[in-house]
Structure 1
Amino acid sequence: MQISSQQMQDVLYELFVKYKFTTDKARLLSKTYTESTLAGVNSHGINRVPLFLEYVENGSVKIDAEAEKVESFGSIERWDGNYGPGIINATKCINRAVELAKNHGMGLVALRNNNHWMRGGTYGKIAADAGCISILFTNTQPNMPPWGAKDSRIGNNPFIVSIPRKEGHVVLDMALSQFAFGKINDYKLRGKKLPYPGGWDENDQLSNDPEKITKKERGLPVGYWKGSALSIVLDMLATLLAAGNSTYKIGLKKFETGISQVFLCIDPEVFHDKELQDRLLDEIIDYTHDVEPMKAGDQIYYPGERSSLTTAENLKEGMPVSESVWEKILALSNK
């Protein structure tokens, strides 16, 4: 089914107000979930709303709590999320990292005790809209085996890099699993197999069956052993910089909460060579675009380009949404 962005935003706003969020928080939450769905990332947009509200109901997400600064070291700060809503806290911290970058050339905010920030690219776009380069990452509950192991001990730790560009921001937003688990569940919801193996089944065989992968949550690291190593290092960095929970500690909890995140922003204006920067970016993008695709009719994209095109299309045509998910949203609204 197709839903307009305005319709989704209105329904979600009323739903979050019903769950006792302030009007400002309800507005930000509904806007963020809708924008992720507009970009075609339903797995971290509309599909996640029921689970987010479950976390509100079981107390994992504290609706009145907000991130607060606990330590400051010039252009580097530590914040505590106090188990508040992940989107609210992450938005506050990316805006603070941008502010630090504007004042110092570079700013870093390390956040502990947060909840899921949903789509990491949201915060890369906020930084890019403000004219900043960003490098962002978060740890997660254990959902991938370290390379060669049987059981999950590492997280798929999403990693984001954004670069501002007038013709369209470059925004890399990737989990360190071949498929984010939200995406795996999206395929499961639609009754489809993954296009490539995405994890291991109960017999320790690589599989593209979402049902088999989600039974034990053993995702496949990107780049196999390389993705495994990168996951471990990002967990170390997020934990150390935030003085927060590691993937190990998060895995001891009943629900995925109390995660650690890093927001690093750089203001490229400090170099005073914007024309050169624009020319260098265009050179790389033009060179990447100008290659023959393996399949006739295919197009080559830079990171974030397809999301921008999907957003434009969905604004015009409406967003494709799972009927069962939308019915669940409406049922929560009328409960």
Structure 2
Amino acid sequence: MVKRYNSEKIKQLVFKIYQAYGFSNEDSEKVAATLLYTDLHGIESHGVQRLAMYDHFIQNGKIRVQSKPEIIKETDVSAVVDAHFGLGQLNGIYSMEVAIQKAKEHGVGIVTTKNSGHYGIAGFYANLAATAGLIGMSSTNSRPAMVPTHAMKAFIGTNPIGFAMPAKPHPFIFDAATSTVPQGKIEVYRKLEKDLPAFWVAKNGTEPVTSHTDKKDLDLLRDPDANVALTPLGGVAEETGSHKGFGLGIIVEIFTSILSLGNISTEISPENLEVGPCQSFVAIDPAIFGDKEQIIERFSAYLQDIRHLPAVPGKTIYVHGDKEALAYENAKKYGIEIDDRTLEEITAIAKRLHVSTSEYLN
């Protein structure tokens, strides 16, 4: 069952939990804000649903509470950051802030970060740049999850791409895995006991896995040596565009692990505590191309033209960021959605850390 909870109370609970781990007040606030941003915008796969995974990594030492990101190579417009296995959200905020500062000073800022951790949604970091009046992009690699076109097992991560640009009435925000869906979406469907649409998951390269009760196959999604994997955006065949998602996943790998000389997807595993995902952060000042306000006004008018196109009967045309803006208004008014199993996970973590939940979950 899914219920709604007051977002400010849940944010405060997450803050208390991260305080209890030993994170500073400032860092705990950043983590809570990042996770609640995700739930408030209707992306429940990467919000507080992820607390259990982060808890596991903190306990086994893959996430190191006291680690701080460090610039190890730098130019006026670029930097390489070693995150030293700190929490992904904190590494991501730090790295995008470096990119934003460089873009404000030199027009462009590009940062690639290695030895990081799972950082949530790519769009959050892209939107940090948009909020600063800049164009933002972010991406991350991950452990193998996606099967390349015509292959039999996973080799590439879900490797999402986030892009954001200032616009009216709200920023344009595109955020998507290069696989058909992210791993977190599968986890949410399994918690809700919902069957999967065809070709979110494939077995032996071409056979769809759809039943949420097929525990044996779905459990193998986390095994890089298994024959079960997420499909690339476009499915399993070139005729439906599988090669496009596959190619986009490789491009993400270039901007994250290859340029940082960090770990590629196949080198990342939850068991190996000395390897972590890599990320990229880009900020671009539109002013290097012309009058910034005119560019934003032109882009905003372009998006409005799309929204006003004739729509299929019974459907609404949304551009990227519209649904998230609506979800945000709804969640602020009625609360964020949390399923019972995720709530049980959060409650168990809080109990172990001696954090009271009674005042936050009513």
TM-score (norm 1): 0.94
Q: Does 1:76 align with 2:86?
A: no
Which runs of no fewer than 5 residues in structure 1 stay unpaired? none
CA deviation vs aligned residue, 1:269-302 (integer Å, no higher than 9, x gap): 23342343134213321222123333x3321111
Distance in 2 (CA, whole Å) between partners of 1:186 and 1:3 is: 17
Check conservation: 2:150, 2:205, Cα contact below 8 A.
no
**92, 95, 115: which is aligned to 1:93?**
95
How far residue 156 of structure 1 moved from its aligned partner, in angstroms, is: 1.3
Corresponding residue of 2:343: 326
| Count of equivalent residues | 334
Q: How far 1:42 sits from its partner (Å)?
A: 1.4
Residue type matched to 1:150 in 2? M
- The aligned residue for residue 13 of structure 1 is 15
2:326 to 296, 309, 314: 309
Q: 5 Å matches for 1:190-209?
A: 190-201=192-203, 204-209=206-211
Query: SS in structure 1 opposite 2:230?
Result: coil
Pair 1:221-2:239 in alignment: no
Structure 2 residue aligned with 1:172, among 154, 158, 174? 174
**Residues 201 and 99 of structure 1, relative CA distance in 2, 3 Å threshold:** same
Asked if structure 1 preserves the Cα contact closer than 8 Å seen for 2:156 and 2:265, the reply is yes
- C-alpha separation in 2, matches of 1:252 and 1:325: 21
Task: Flag the 1:131–1:279 CA change in 2: closer, same or farther, 3 A.
Answer: closer
Tell me, in whole angstroms, the C-alpha distance in 2 between the residues paired with 1:265 and 1:146. Answer: 30
1:237 to 255, 261, 268: 255
Contact between 1:140 and 1:256, CA under 8 Å: does it hold in 2? no
Deviation at 1:166, TM superposition (A): 3.8
| AA at the equivalent of 2:172 | V
Question: What corresponds to 2:283 in structure 1?
Answer: 265
Give CA deviations for 1:110-145 in whole Å, capped at 9, x if unaligned: 111000111111111111101110121111111111
Matched, 1:41 2:58: no
SS at match of 1:321: strand
Q: Which moved more, 1:104-113 or 1:247-256?
A: 247-256
> Percent of aligned pairs with the same residue?
26
Residue type of the partner of 2:345?
A: K
1:216-263 deviation digits (Å, cap 9, x = unpaired):
320010031111122123213322221211112215954795111111
The question of whether the paired residues in 1 share the 8 Å contact of 2:181 and 2:200 is answered with yes
- Over 3 Å counting, the alpha-carbon distance change for 1:192 and 1:247 in structure 2 is same
Change (3 A) 1:202 1:226: closer
Q: Quote the Cα distance in structure 2 between the aligned partners of 1:211 and 1:221.
A: 23
- Structure 1 position 274 matched with structure 2 position 292: yes
Cα deviations across residues 153-200 of structure 1 (Å, max 9, x unaligned)?
111101111111241001110001111110111111111123453011
Aligned partners of 2:5 and 2:338 also within 8 Å: yes
Distance in 2 (CA, whole Å) between partners of 1:211 and 1:127 is 42
The Cα of 1:215 is off from its aligned counterpart by 2.9
Cα contact 1:85–1:114 (8 A) shared by 2: yes
Cα 1:306–1:117 shift into 2, 3 Å:
same
Asked whether the equivalents of residues 125 and 137 of structure 2 are also in contact (C-alpha less than 8 Å), the reply is no
**Cα distance change, pair 255–170 in 1 and its aligned pair in 2 (3 A):** farther
CA RMSD after TM alignment:
1.9
